[in-house]
Amino acid sequence: MQLNFLYIWLCAMTVLTIAALIVRKIRRKNALASKDFVVTGLAVWTAITLFRVVFTVLTKVELKAALGDDGAVILCIGSALGIYYSLREVVKLF
């Protein structure tokens, strides 16, 4: 695991946590449970990883050649769906 990836994840989690606490306080909702932080952390980790997968598929010529056009498209669509569902879990935090 690269150190930059860890920094991105930590920054995203810090921003999301602070934003969720502020929004929940303004809306007068219940306090966050620890499981909410775990689920959000894993969802953010998944979304960042899948963004890297899409970026790698679109930029690496060798990988595109190995997968073929159909394989690259299927991998990008699957990653996009994974990103969508991960971000839906993050939105539930608010």
57, 76 Cβ separation under 8 angstroms:
yes
pLDDT in tens, the chain (94 residues): 566 878 888 888 888 888 888 888 888 878 778 888 888 888 998 998 999 999 999 899 888 888 888 888 999 999 999 999 999 988 888 8
Give the number of residues written for the chain.
94
Helices 34-59 and 61-92 cross at an angle (nearest 10°) of 160
CA 15, distance to chain mean position in Å, is 14
Note the pLDDT of residue 50.
Answer: 93
The predicted pLDDT at position 25 comes to 84
Are the C-beta atoms of 92 and 35 separated by less than 8 Å?
no
pLDDT at 6: 80
**Alpha carbon distance 63, 75 (integer Å):** 11
Domain range enclosing 76: 3-92
- What's the domain count of the chain? 1
